[in-house]
Chain A
Amino acid sequence: DTEVTQTPKHLVMGMTNKKSLKCEQHMGHRAMYWYKQKAKKPPELMFVYSYEKLSINESVPSRFSPECPNSSLLNLHLHALQPEDSALYLCASSQETNEQFFGPGTRLTVL
């Protein structure tokens, strides 16, 4: 299995909602990542987990809360988001120094 899966594919939420994005990989990768990508822009790194511990937080607002329950799963909990948070949220994994494998992303719309 050489895939990174993400659910849901699409999510529409209000500014007072709480929702979660999920990411899963079964390649045995020990590093997992969350990126945010706006239309026609490159992906921007948000968080990095290494061996299930948060190693990088790119000064992301606290309304985004990552969680790594185990080495195969990565969640992104969303609360009180703003319309400008609407974007494609990409998850990736890697075997530390090797290439990153990206999931298809969750298209998030905040109303």
Chain B
Amino acid sequence: GESVGLHLPTLSVQEGDNSIINCAYSNSASDYFIWYKQESGKGPQFIIDIRSNMDKRQGQRVTVLLNKTVKHLSLQIAATQPGDSAVYFCAENRAGGSYIPTFGRGTSLIVHP
């Protein structure tokens, strides 16, 4: 089965709210995680990554949190905008130090104006 997955298939938020997208992984040996955004009709776009020696990493309006104890990853988007509407995938690197991502199932974020 899949080693990376997401809890919710769809998340609806109001413009301006903060969004939190969650992801669970099962491979405790994974040491690199990535969040991708895929807009309709486009390929996935890298958002932010985090290594297992970190708990938190911040980007522009996005924060990724990693809880290795419970094998949980989350993506927080501050002040969500309509342009943030997309499918978000978490991914983990393959075993053996490879940087080829294994994608989770995806969460569709819908931002209402």
Which residues of chain A have a CB within 8 Å of any CB of chain B?
Answer: 4, 33, 40-45, 48, 56, 90, 92, 94, 96-105
Partner of B46, one of A44, A100, A103: A100
Say yes or no for B50: interface residue by CB 8 A criterion.
no
How many pairs of residues, A versus B, come closer than 8 Å at their CB atoms? Answer: 42
Known pairs A56-B100, A99-B34, A99-B49; A92 contacts B105 (CB<8 A)? no
Measured CB to CB, the nearest residue on chain B to A42 is B103
Q: How many residues of B contact A (CB 8 A)?
A: 18
Known pairs A45-B100, A96-B99; A103 contacts B43 (CB<8 A)? yes
Beta-carbon contact of B34 and A42 below 8 Å: no
Beta-carbon contact of A104 and B42 below 8 Å: yes
Q: A4 to chain B: which residues have CB within 8 Å?
A: 43
Q: A90 to chain B: which residues have CB within 8 Å?
A: 43-44
Expressed in whole angstroms, the Cα–Cα distance for A99 and B89 within the complex equals 14
Say yes or no for B101: interface residue by CB 8 A criterion.
yes
Q: B91 to chain A: which residues have CB within 8 Å?
A: 42
Partner of A42, one of B42, B43, B89: B89
